[in-house]
Structure 1
Amino acid sequence: MVTHHAQPLVVTTRAHLARALAPNPPTSSAECGRTAAQTGHEAAVRPHSADGSAGRSVDNSSDNSVDGSGKAARAVVMTMGALHAGHLELVREAGRLADQVVVTIFVNPLQFGPGEDYERYPRTLDADVALLATAGADVVFAPTREEMYPGGDPIVSVTSGRIGTVLEGKSRPGHFDGVLTVVLKLLHLTAPDVAVFGEKDAQQLLAITRTVADLNVPVVVHGVPIVRDDDGLALSSRNAYLSAADRAHALALSGALLAGREAAASGRDAAAVRAAAEGMLAATPGVVVDYLALVDPTTVEDVPQTYVGPALLLVAARVGATRLIDNMAVELLAAPRPANPGGTQ
């Protein structure tokens, strides 16, 4: 049986987005100021399922954002396009949480550093919109750089603080400042009750959560678990850059995280957990490690040797010419008590 999905309403300007999100929104792209021939996409209202959520939320909103069914009015999913199954799971989760789902597609120049892949980052809007129709998006906001940053890069931006200077922030200076600046702009423009993000970008999710809390932004930040291919590779738009050989080598990232998790589950300490993961990476050709860290998931600070409790094992590595990141939750257990050699109390 073939399931037919309505095309989401596609808008590219802030003014048209405001009209699309108004109480009585237009029913086509033409009514938002663009003809159907210009966009190729028509709008429709889609009923969302009321299934439960498997993700984790941090609530900084007021209760009036939720209707009588327990669902929020609007959720947003922010992307840079080049969508894959992981993005679509975010959209489906947003539909379980809210009556209206807005997806943003914007390759944000502020979060790319010199020599990174801003210019060659895949831009596949038509294919992305077709995929979003299957996942149930209602509105797609796909602005240009000029629309998001009129007059050039902003003079005022968000500073990510210490979270933005370690691990991914240390490797990519200014990255999180750029991320948080565009996230706050998009939250302002879309006015969601819930913002859905993937847990694959764990440090980014923490930075966004702290920003929303510290600045009293009235939105629920909801994290969704990593989506992986059958062989364990975390889904990423940058996987498209991998050759067949590179892709095989890239499996060392998830393999290393699993090795660390198994070490933790067997009662090994923090140093042994790191060593187990490092061993897997060192044994794989073509993988150049940027960082491997075992951190407190609430601060991204390294856990001490004697730490007991939940932790996050993160890795960033270059596989061939492609830089990939991954992470996995681990639970460090209390060290087993040594046996009494004398057999007495």
Structure 2
Amino acid sequence: MRRLPIFFVLDVSESMIGEPLRRMEQGIEQIVSTLRQDPHSLETVFISLIAFAGKAKAITPLIDLVSFYPPKMPVGGGTALGEALDVLMEQIETKVEKTTYEKRGDWEPVVFLITDGKPTDNPSKAVQRWRTEFASRASMVAITLGTNADMQVLGQLTENVLALENSTEEDFRKFIEWVSASVRAQSQKVEVEGKTGGVSLEKAESSGMTVVDNVDTFAVTDPDFVVLTGKCSKNKKPYLLKYARSKTDGISFIKTQHFGLEGAFALDEGYFEWSSETTTQESVNTSALDGVPPCPQCGNPTSFAICECQRLLCLDSTGLATCPWCSKSLQFDMSGGGGNFDVNRGQG
């Protein structure tokens, strides 16, 4: 049997935490559920998931629809697109069966690359290798969630670049339906016509996406999120604080320099396994951030104390505390008179 390999290369960086990651998990489940109802897809489609943050890994091998079980998505700091491409190319090279004199190999793989930010590594070598060795062997569609991705890089990888500019539940639902329909159409082509022919973008715009015809002129907005990493002073486990750019008078196209709290998220040590070992040099002043949540790990009243090592931790009360990052013992004052300060941003 000739398989139709479908690779999902998914951005699981810090900026995806919360609703975007939840929708992505549910979206993958919906895609698989839809394809299982199609006899053509059930016969030919094999799915693989590659996740990338500061590091990249294949979290699901190439597997048939019946056996596929949607995994829980990890989250990490960084957007290592170059490493994600290396993993993708290694998977195509080793897992996709090639045609030989003895037998016909798998159908041309289809890749859906989904990201919401700019690379934090240097992807140039991986991009060049993809262009010279793999672009003719696979069909790729690059999809940005929002418009903050590096369109220039995506445009070097594929002519098929889409932007899901709106982030409502309905927009994401239509996007997932389009992906499902695209995979289903590919499976029907190989069954009926004996060829793939690449993914059609004909119905993409009616599904709420923008077809990016010219990456050179596509507008890229300022980042709309601030993500901060902290550690619980009790169990030393990490957490993320996510702030979204505030709107002015409810008018969505007017940007402000203030960010409102969107959520606080408890993580496990797996966060560091998926995070880049390098750190960002960007910071944000606390005067631009509205809202200080309790610690999502232990419930301490504040998750927003800062140590001399410039990292965040949670506090129970004023007094002596030990930093879970550097193990220094420091005196903290929670009276609120400390003024504003800069704090390092996550890599997104």
The TM-score, its normalising length taken from structure 1, stands at 0.30
Comparing both structures, which one devotes a greater share of its residues to strand? 2
Comparing both structures, which one devotes a greater share of its residues to helix? 1
The TM-score, its normalising length taken from structure 2, stands at 0.30
